[in-house]
Amino acid sequence: MGMLVQKDIMKRISNAKNQITAKDSSLELILQGKNLDDDGFALVCEALIEAIQVGAIHLEELNLSGNALTTASLRPLSAVIKSQPGLKDLDLSKNNITVATGEDAKIWKMFLQSFENSRCLRRMDLSTNPLRDKAMEVFLSVYSSQPPIILPSQDRSTSAASNNSDYDEEEYHNNIDKQENLENPKSRNGKHKRGSVSGLKQVLSHNSLAKTGSRMFFYNA
């Protein structure tokens, strides 16, 4: 199955290189229950990364539920996430991801850190995986190390999110960026803007600030 998905993505790459582009490059890749396994998924990731780099696709949703994936698959997946910070929805539920050894913990940490520059993630589902307690320890460590969230002024953003059904989430983030540049000019050229809503913290910030119903499912099988 992995080879078939890879072949389909490669067609998109070929079209992009030949300037035969679709009107919309957005992609929701639903691979639920396809029994990809780690080897098949590695092939898919290779194709996805190349497609993203040449602009053939803009990956918005990736559903990998029920594919017998193990912790090893998080390594190529991390590369995909780094390449596509616009990913909005990631479903890894019902797989066999566990953090039992030192190597597992290393890969798991790398996976969590790959979201460092993500600003669009609204949902990540890791439910029904035998993650173990070590996974949560590493998660909390990575989460706490990421930049803090600056809450917008009460009268502008929070009230707008609560009371205005036409609340523009993109405008909300742009306003935060402008606020950060004014308060901290050095952040303009830095690796991270102080308080920018990115990384793992954005999943919770979307839910508490923008009322988008975003959520993270994170518990052991």
The DSSP annotation for 114-136 comes to TTTT-----EEE--SB---HHHH
- Per the structure, the count of domains in the chain is 2
The CATH code of the domain that includes 71 is 3.80.10.10
- Tell me, what DSSP letter sits at residue 85? T
| Residue 17 contacts residue 54 (beta carbons within 8 Å) | yes
Q: Is the pLDDT of residue 90 over 90?
A: yes
Instruction: Provide DSSP, 148-201.
Output: PPPPPPIIIIIHHHHH-TT--HHHHHHHHHHHHHHH-GGGGSSSS-TT---TTH
Q: Is the pLDDT of residue 180 over 70?
A: no
138 confidence band (pLDDT: 50, 70, 90): very high
Does residue 58 belong to any structural domain of this protein? yes
Coil, strand or helix at 101: coil
Structure tokens given for 2: 């992995």
- pTM for this entry: 0.72
Residue with tokens 């809450």: 151
For residue 54, give the nearest of 28, 95, 20 by alpha carbon: 20
pLDDT, position 217: 57
Does residue 214 belong to any structural domain of this protein? no
User: CA 173 to CA 168: how far, in whole Å?
Assistant: 9
170 confidence band (pLDDT: 50, 70, 90): low
Same domain, 93 and 174: no
In the chain, how long is the greatest CA-to-CA distance? 53
Residue with the larger pLDDT of the pair 77 and 27: 77
User: CA 92 to CA 68: how far, in whole Å?
Assistant: 10
pLDDT, position 149: 60
Same domain, 69 and 169: no
pLDDT, position 158: 46
Q: Which domain holds residue 122?
A: 2-145
pLDDT, position 10: 87
When mean pLDDT is compared across 54-63, 121-130, 152-161, 195-204, the lowest value belongs to: 152-161
Q: Where are the alpha helices (DSSP H) in 18-132?
A: 37-53, 74-83, 102-113
